[in-house]
Structure formats: structure tokens, C-alpha cells
């Protein structure tokens, strides 16, 4: 029982990381139906900005995260303007391939500029604290990640459901032409979507850097891919879906390692995902609307 509860905590903290990245993924998809494969790499850039603002500027973790979020928000808007906007009216496969190209560009430009070696995040940036509650070990880093994932999800949900910008986003998502007729600036709305999505990725990147102590130019690939799966699993385009998908994937992986064999972790975890999607193709929280795709 004790081990089970410990594994549940392990799963939740791993799931929170997937959920954090999945939030940005699902938001961009929800608005412009683009699977932004560069999302994981924007996260990596955010982690590097955080790393350098701590090591070079000596800022604390909160300031580092704000720097990273601002830098990546700008990067996200620039990427959208240069790479995705010219393709907005072409086929979706063209936009998808451009996203993959952008992802490779970010990875190898970073390798070119900073070298392929991993960099060690200073341990002093976020000193580890451990709490033992009834034999269960939990660290301040676990709490920090789980709480910030939930808080960011609530803020995001609020922006989309309650603000004017959010209303514009939803309008663009439902019918772009009609939104234009209603006086909504589509370009501006999509730019804001990218800015928010990329800032979320940056926050996730800094947290991952802190959590695992290292940053490297290819660190975005695997978490990015798993976050994408988490977003699809929860129902892509839905903010709570990203959260649920992230936690389900994290707990699934943890339990396969903990109670099955770690040698088959990814095989079993992804096998279960395929099964879920066969039964419920729109994801756990998705509704069968039968439109679009």
C-alpha cells in the first residue's frame, strides 16, 4: 500500500510535466488545427533562457521563468509569422511538415550555437526539500510542478472562457471567415495564441531544467512527443483534456515500470493508449462532433 501510494506520487509528478507541455500543444491545435511539432523545442529554448538567466544574470528561479516566458512568447509569435502564416491557406500537411522543419531548425541551430553537450542547471537555484508524510516521500519540486500545472490550467481555462481575447480565440476556432466578418482580427488572435502557448512551453522548460538538473538541445523531443500523445489521449483541443491525458500517461508509465517491467514501459504504455483511442477516437474527454477532420 505504501509502495502503491509512493508510485502514485511518482506518476503524478511525471504526469504533471507531460500535462504542462500538453497544455500549449492543445491550445494551438484548438485554435488553428495545427499540430505544432516545434512546441517541444520552444520548451527547450525556454529551458536554455532560464539556464542562462540564472547562471549569467544571477536571477532567481521566478525571474528566470518570467524571462523565459517573455523570450519564448516573442519566439512563438515570430515563428508563426515567418513559418506558419504564409501557409495558412494551404493544405494541412504542408503546415505540418513546416512544423517538423521548424522543430529540426530549432534543435540544430541550438547545437550549432551552444554545442551538443548537456549543461548542468545550478542546484542552488531551487534547493531540494524533502517531506516525509506517513512513510511517503515527497519533494518540494514535486509539489511545485503539480501545483503550477493545475494553476496554469485554471488560468488558461479562465482566459479562454471568460475574457474577450478568449472569446475571439474560440470564434476563430469555430469559423475563421465568420469571425472576420464579426470584426475579429484573425492575425492578432492567432499571434496571441502562439504567444500564450509558447510562454507555457517556456515555463515547462524551466521547470524541467530545475527538476532534472540538466538542459540539452535535444531535450524537447521525447517530452514533446509524449505531451502530444497526452494531448491526443485527453482529447486534443481541450484544455482539461491535456491535463487528464498528461496525468493518465504519467501514471500509466509509472505503474508499468513499478508493477510490470521497466523493460516494456513504453511498449505497454503506448499499447494501452492505442486501445483507448480505438474505443474512444476523440480522446478521453472528447465529444463525437463528427465535424472538421
Partner 1 sequence: MKRRSGRKLAMLVMMTFVLSILAGCGGGGSETQDEQINVGINVELSGGVASYGTNSKDGMMLAIEQINAAGGVLGKQLNPIIKDCKSLPDEAMSVSANLVGEGIVAQLGPLTSGNVQGSTSVMMDNGIPLVAPAATAVNVTVDEKTGDIMDYIFRVCFIDPFQGTLMAEFASTNLEAKNAAIYMDASSDYGKGLAKYFKETFEANGGTIVTEEGFVKGDRDFKATLTKIKGHNPDFIYIPGYYEEAAPLIKQAREMGITAPIGGTDGWDSSDMVAVATAENLNNTYFTNHYSSQDTDPQIVAFVEAYKAKYNGKDPDSFAALGYDAVQLLVQAINDANSTEPEAITAALATIKDFQGITGKMTIDEQHNPVKAGVIIEFKDGGQVMKARIQP
Residues that bind partner 1 (CB under 8 A): 3, 6-7, 10-11, 13-14, 17, 118, 120, 123, 128, 130, 137, 139, 208, 212-214, 218, 221-222, 253-255, 257-259, 261-263, 266
Dist CA 262 CA 137 (whole Å): 21
Least CB distance from residue 257 to partner 1, whole Å? 4
Nearer to partner 1, 190 or 251 (CB): 251
Dihedrals φ, ψ of 132, to 5°?
-115, 110
List all residues 6 or more positions away from 255 whose beta carbon is below 8 Å from its beta carbon. 7, 11
Least CB distance from residue 184 to partner 1, whole Å? 41
Beta-bridge mates of residue 120: 214
Q: Residue 40 is placed in which grid cell?
A: 517541444
Give the count of alpha carbons within 13 A of 24, CB side only: 33
Least CB distance from residue 64 to partner 1, whole Å? 19
Nearer to partner 1, 47 or 79 (CB): 47
Nearer to partner 1, 172 or 204 (CB): 204
Dist CA 248 CA 84 (whole Å): 31
Dist CA 79 CA 101 (whole Å): 11
Least CB distance from residue 2 to partner 1, whole Å? 9
Least CB distance from residue 161 to partner 1, whole Å? 33
Q: How many CB atoms lie within 10 A of CB 82?
A: 11
Nearer to partner 1, 96 or 111 (CB): 111
Q: How far is CA 90 from CA 35, 77, 84, 104, in A?
A: 15, 19, 10, 21
Nearer to partner 1, 4 or 158 (CB): 4
Dist CA 11 CA 254 (whole Å): 5
Least CB distance from residue 6 to partner 1, whole Å? 5
Strands 214-215 and 119-120, by their bridges, are antiparallel
Nearer to partner 1, 20 or 34 (CB): 20
Amino acid at each position: 500500500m505504501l509502495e502503491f501510494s509512493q508510485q502514485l506520487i511518482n506518476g503524478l509528478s511525471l504526469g504533471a510535466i507531460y500535462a504542462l507541455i500538453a497544455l500549449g500543444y492543445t491550445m494551438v491545435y484548438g485554435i488553428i488545427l495545427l499540430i505544432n511539432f516545434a512546441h517541444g523545442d520552444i520548451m527547450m529554448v525556454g529551458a536554455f533562457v532560464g539556464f542562462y538567466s540564472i547562471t549569467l544574470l544571477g536571477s532567481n528561479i521566478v525571474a528566470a521563468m518570467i524571462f523565459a516566458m517573455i523570450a519564448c512568447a516573442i519566439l512563438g509569435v515570430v515563428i508563426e509569422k515567418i513559418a506558419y502564416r504564409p501557409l495558412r491557406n494551404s493544405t494541412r500537411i504542408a503546415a505540418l511538415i513546416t512544423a517538423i522543419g521548424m522543430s529540426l531548425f530549432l534543435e540544430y541551430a541550438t547545437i550549432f550555437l551552444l554545442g551538443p553537450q548537456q549543461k548542468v542547471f545550478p542546484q542552488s537555484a531551487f534547493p531540494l526539500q524533502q517531506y516525509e508524510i506517513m512513510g511517503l516521500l515527497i519533494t518540494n519540486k514535486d509539489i511545485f510542478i503539480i501545483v503550477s500545472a493545475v494553476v496554469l490550467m485554471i488560468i488558461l481555462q479562465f482566459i479562454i472562457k471568460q475574457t474577450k481575447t478568449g472569446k475571439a480565440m474560440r470564434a476563430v476556432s469555430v469559423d475563421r471567415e465568420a469571425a472576420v466578418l464579426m470584426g475579429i482580427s484573425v492575425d492578432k488572435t492567432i499571434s496571441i495564441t502562439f504567444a500564450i502557448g509558447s510562454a507555457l512551453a517556456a515555463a515547462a522548460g524551466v521547470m524541467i531544467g530545475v527538476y532534472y538538473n540538466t538542459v540539452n538541445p535535444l531535450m524537447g523531443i521525447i517530452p514533446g512527443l509524449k505531451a502530444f500523445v497526452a494531448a491526443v489521449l485527453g482529447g486534443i483541443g481541450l484544455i482539461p483534456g491535456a491535463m487528464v491525458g498528461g496525468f493518465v500517461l504519467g501514471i500509466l508509465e509509472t505503474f508499468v515500470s513499478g508493477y510490470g517491467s521497466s523493460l516494456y514501459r513504453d511498449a505497454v504504455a503506448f499499447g494501452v493508449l492505442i486501445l483507448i483511442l480505438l474505443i474512444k477516437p476523440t480522446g478521453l474527454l472528447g465529444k463525437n462532433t463528427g465535424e472538421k477532420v
